[in-house]
């Protein structure tokens, strides 16, 4: 089969995958357990990559993948050793394995310049625009009762996931606006039209964590932006406008305003702090290797009556794979931090923005280890500096 044709199929599959991320868990027909557009697109992307052959799998990226495989095998063994009949979590965790494979493929494509990072960001923004439009027509809306309040869910995503999606869309949009020479020139300013809908989405989600992550990366982009005096004045004015708009929206939302007030005045973490304390106590019983995902689920059922996530990726890895697993994962993350710092030193703020958003999200989110969006961010982080170096060589 023609290689160029396969490359087109692979690009199309990846962009379809990105467009479908907000709708991965939407299941109006009850078939999402075995079929969804996201799964189909991811499968098509992987198949086309295997058909193309070794060019789809970059060896320089594999040294990072190898670290993840060590962690995966460790967790797999621990899952099998701690499995009991009541466990519902997957022993093999195929989702994690698929995400590791996607991480390798996407990072390889970015490095080889088969796919442009700006295009990935743009398609993600388009997906959230589409999500916002469907929201206006009341399509895909659900409800979730938490902390004695009713929060809105969209397309099977819990409110916090919705907030993360909207927050990233805001961050990517501002990156286009503040860095036109590195993105789409003046055309990038068109995203100004849709930013209000993203702000509305994050407010409706009621996600304090997503709002805080978004504010941090937005401030970081404005503070670190190097420009002339006139442009700085313009950017400061834009920041003031965005800040006032965001504050007004927060005040208008009883849900978001109440939850933020509780966080500031009472230190409320929506029950996460209690879970973190229990997770740490569990880990103390098995500090070296942990319980595996299966054993952890069993222990949480004993404590809470049902399985619960650690709501912190690092604590989850600590309690499921012990100090050994955490050291492996921390080494992996530190390598990404080094990439982000190197990219920032070279004048590109994007990778540091992605890293900050990733860390502030996984420190408080459940299920982060299986979250495809988080793995997409890591793939961009580790490969984007490679892309920059390759681009310089071709000039």
Structure tokens at 208: 């304090």
Please report, for residues 24, 52, 108, 378, the alpha-carbon distance to residue 49 in angstroms, rounded to integers and kept in the order given: 22, 5, 10, 19
CA neighbor of 255 nearest in space, from 263, 245, 266: 263
- pLDDT per position as a tens digit, 141-178: 887 766 566 677 887 788 889 999 999 999 999 999 98
- Taking residues 243-249, what's their average pLDDT? 83
Looking at the predicted structure, is the pLDDT value of residue 378 above 50?
yes
Question: What per-residue confidence (pLDDT) applies to 77?
Answer: 97
Looking at the predicted structure, is the pLDDT value of residue 394 above 50?
no
Question: What per-residue confidence (pLDDT) applies to 224?
Answer: 87
- Taking residues 268-286, what's their average pLDDT? 88
CA neighbor of 11 nearest in space, from 36, 39, 40, 48: 48
**Sheet strands (E) in 123-248:** 141-146, 149-154
CA 322/CA 330 separation, integer angstroms: 12
- pLDDT per position as a tens digit, 313-364: 999 999 999 999 999 999 999 999 999 999 999 888 999 999 999 999 999 8
- pLDDT per position as a tens digit, 32-85: 555 677 888 888 899 999 998 888 999 999 999 999 999 999 999 999 999 998
Structure tokens at 161: 């996931």
Q: What end-to-end distance do the CA atoms of the chain give, in Å?
A: 32
Looking at the predicted structure, is the pLDDT value of residue 30 above 80?
no
Lowest-confidence range among 69-78, 163-172, 220-229, 382-391?
Answer: 382-391
Share of the chain above pLDDT 90, in %: 55
- pLDDT per position as a tens digit, 283-301: 999 999 999 999 999 999 9
- pLDDT per position as a tens digit, 105-118: 999 999 988 889 99
Please report, for residues 59, 180, 226, 244, 345, the alpha-carbon distance to residue 231 in angstroms, rounded to integers and kept in the order given: 42, 13, 9, 20, 21
pLDDT confidence bin for 384, thresholds 50/70/90: confident
Question: What per-residue confidence (pLDDT) applies to 393?
Answer: 38
Looking at the predicted structure, is the pLDDT value of residue 27 above 70?
no
- Taking residues 223-250, what's their average pLDDT? 82
Question: What per-residue confidence (pLDDT) applies to 32?
Answer: 59
CA 285/CA 296 separation, integer angstroms: 12
DSSP string, 263-298: HHHH---TTHHHHHHHHHHHHHHSTTT--HHHHHHH
CA 336/CA 391 separation, integer angstroms: 20
Question: What per-residue confidence (pLDDT) applies to 297?
Answer: 96
Question: What per-residue confidence (pLDDT) applies to 249?
Answer: 84
DSSP 349: -
The model's pTM is: 0.91
Question: What per-residue confidence (pLDDT) applies to 35?
Answer: 63
CA neighbor of 162 nearest in space, from 146, 137, 192, 140: 140
Looking at the predicted structure, is the pLDDT value of residue 94 above 70?
yes
């Amino acid at each position: 089969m023609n290689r160029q044709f396969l490359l087109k199929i692979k690009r199309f599959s990846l962009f379809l995958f990105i467009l479908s991320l907000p709708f991965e868990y939407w299941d109006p027909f009850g078939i999402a357990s075995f079929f969804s557009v996201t799964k189909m697109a991811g499968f098509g992307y992987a198949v086309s990559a295997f058909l193309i052959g070794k060019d789809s799998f970059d060896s320089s990226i594999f040294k990072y993948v190898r670290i993840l495989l060590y962690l995966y095998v460790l967790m797999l063994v621990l899952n099998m050793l701690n499995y009991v009949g009541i466990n519902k979590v997957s022993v093999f965790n195929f989702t994690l394995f698929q995400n590791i494979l996607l991480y390798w493929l996407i990072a390889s494509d970015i490095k080889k310049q088969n796919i442009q990072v700006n295009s990935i960001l743009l398609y993600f923004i388009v997906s959230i625009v589409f999500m916002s439009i469907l929201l206006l027509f009341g399509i895909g809306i659900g409800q979730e009762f938490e902390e004695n309040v009713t929060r809105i869910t969209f397309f099977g995503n819990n409110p916090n996931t919705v907030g993360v999606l909207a927050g990233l869309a805001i961050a990517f949009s501002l990156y286009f606006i503040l860095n036109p020479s590195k993105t789409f020139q003046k055309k990038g300013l068109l995203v100004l039209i849709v930013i209000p809908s993203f702000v509305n989405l994050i407010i409706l989600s009621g996600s304090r964590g997503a709002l805080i992550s978004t504010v941090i990366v937005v401030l970081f982009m404005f503070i670190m932006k190097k420009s002339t005096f006139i442009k700085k004045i313009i950017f400061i004015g834009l920041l003031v406008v965005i800040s006032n708009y965001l504050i007004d929206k927060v005040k208008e939302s009883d849900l978001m305003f109440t939850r933020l007030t509780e966080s500031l005045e009472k230190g409320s973490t929506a029950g996460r702090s209690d879970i973190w304390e229990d997770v740490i106590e569990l880990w103390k019983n098995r500090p070296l290797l942990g319980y595996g995902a299966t054993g952890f689920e069993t222990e949480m059922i004993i404590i809470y009556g049902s399985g619960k996530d650690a709501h912190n990726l690092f604590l989850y890895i600590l309690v499921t794979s012990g100090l050994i697993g955490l050291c492996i994962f921390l080494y992996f993350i530190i390598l990404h931090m080094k990439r982000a710092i190197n990219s920032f030193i070279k004048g590109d703020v994007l990778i540091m923005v992605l890293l900050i958003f990733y860390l502030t999200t996984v420190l408080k989110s459940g299920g982060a280890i299986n979250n495809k969006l988080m793995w997409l961010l890591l793939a961009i982080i580790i490969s984007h500096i490679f892309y920059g170096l390759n681009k310089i060589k071709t000039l």
